[in-house]
């Protein structure tokens, strides 16, 4: 780890400790009612108790399951469709107008459309997750496949590579860094929409746990759920970063 990275890492921990300290001071001074702002210790105790009795673990696993399913389907569709659009000019000319129409549409605008069609079901939640998580991977894949250097295309022509060989040996390795970067953003969107979908549909998960805790004025449980949600987002980003290092080892050679 370089000195700059170490400094930034330490700075991040210091900032987190400062936030917790301010939180503790405000809780001790009673500036905000403990009904709304519990102390960090009470929130942490609620988090530990939630794991010990299995409630928070079950809710977390439900959210993780939805996040992974939605993200996986969106990533698969994004890579397949993005590679076709990135390589084929004909496909790009046909599909680009529709994609440009749908791309700016926020997932929050899709939810009211999906609820009457699919109801407050698991399918509705996964559909909204997939819609939100699709675009970063799709656009990154299109960029990766459409930005192949001309000299690589010339090499493929000299070697007389088939279309499948060109995609597998040249286009995909060239696009892989973009695809992984898009997939990392898609995973964040998948987590966000998993929670939102659970809140709206009442499906079991962290979103439903946080919302019900807020409605019942269970502030320690509410903050425990939010803390766990932040930890889940951090760990998922770290896992994708490790996957990126593993898949892109060849870039360092």
CATH code, domain with 247: 1.10.3720.10
Same domain, 141 and 230: yes
Whole-model pTM: value is 0.86
**Please, are residues 226 and 209 in contact by the beta-carbon 8 Å criterion?**
no
- The answer to whether residue 58 scores a pLDDT higher than 70 is yes
Please tell me whether residues 127 and 108 are part of one structural domain.
yes
Same structural domain for residues 248 and 197? yes
State whether 130 and 152 are in the same domain: yes
Q: Are residues 73 and 149 in the same domain?
A: yes
Same domain, yes or no: 25 and 44: no
Structural domain total, the chain: 2
33 vs 186, more confident: 186
**What's the mean pLDDT when you consider all of the chain?**
87
pLDDT > 70 in the chain, percent: 96
The answer to whether residues 21 and 46 belong to one domain is no
Contact 47, 193 (CB under 8 A): no
Do both 139 and 245 map to the same domain? yes
The secondary structure of the chain, three-state, reads CCHHHHHHHHHHHHHHHHHHHHHHHHHHHCCCCCCCCCCHHHHHHHHHHHHHCCHHHHHHHHHHHHHHHHHHHHHHHHHHHHHHHHHCHHHHHHHHHHHHHHCCCCHHHHHHHHHHHHCCCHHHHHHHHHHHHHHHHHHHHHHHHHCCCHHHHHHHHHCCCCHHHHHHHHHHHHHHHHHHHHHHHHHHHHHHHHHHHHHHHCCCCHHHHHHHHHHCCCHHHHHHHHHHHHHHHHHHHHHHHHHHHHHCHHHHC
In tens, the pLDDT along 61-118 reads 999 999 999 999 999 999 999 988 888 888 888 888 888 888 888 888 888 889 899 8
Range of the domain at 117: 39-252
**117 and 221 housed in the same domain:** yes
Largest CA distance in the chain: 75
Cα–chain center distance at 230: 12
**Is 48 in the same domain as 95?**
yes
Predicted pLDDT of residue 1? 54
Are both 127 and 203 inside the same structural domain? yes
Whole-number pLDDT of residue 71: 94
């Amino acid at each position: 780890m370089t000195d700059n990275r170490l400094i930034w890492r330490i700075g991040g921990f210091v900032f987190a400790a400062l936030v917790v300290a301010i939180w503790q001071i405000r809780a001790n001074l009673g500036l905000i009612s403990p009904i709304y702002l519990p102390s960090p210790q009470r929130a942490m105790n609620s988090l530990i108790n939630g794991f010990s009795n299995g409630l928070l673990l079950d809710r977390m696993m439900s959210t993780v399951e939805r996040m992974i399913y939605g993200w996986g389907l969106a990533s698969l569709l994004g890579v397949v469709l993005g590679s076709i659009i990135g390589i084929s000019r004909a496909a790009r000319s046909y599909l680009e107008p529709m994609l440009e129409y749908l791309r700016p549409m926020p997932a929050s605008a899709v939810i009211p459309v999906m609820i009457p069609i699919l109801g407050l079901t698991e399918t509705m939640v996964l559909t909204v997750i997939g819609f939100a998580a699709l675009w970063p991977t799709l656009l990154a894949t299109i960029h990766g496949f459409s930005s192949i250097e001309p000299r690589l295309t010339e090499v493929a022509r000299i070697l007389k590579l088939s279309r499948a060989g060109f995609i597998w040996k040249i286009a995909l390795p060239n696009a892989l860094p973009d695809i992984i970067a898009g997939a990392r953003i898609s995973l964040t969107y998948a987590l966000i929409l998993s929670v939102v979908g659970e809140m709206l549909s009442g499906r079991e998960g962290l979103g439903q746990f946080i919302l019900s805790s807020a409605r019942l004025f269970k502030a320690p449980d509410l903050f425990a759920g939010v803390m766990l949600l932040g930890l889940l987002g951090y760990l998922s980003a770290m896992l994708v970063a490790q996957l990126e290092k593993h898949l892109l080892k060849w870039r360092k050679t």
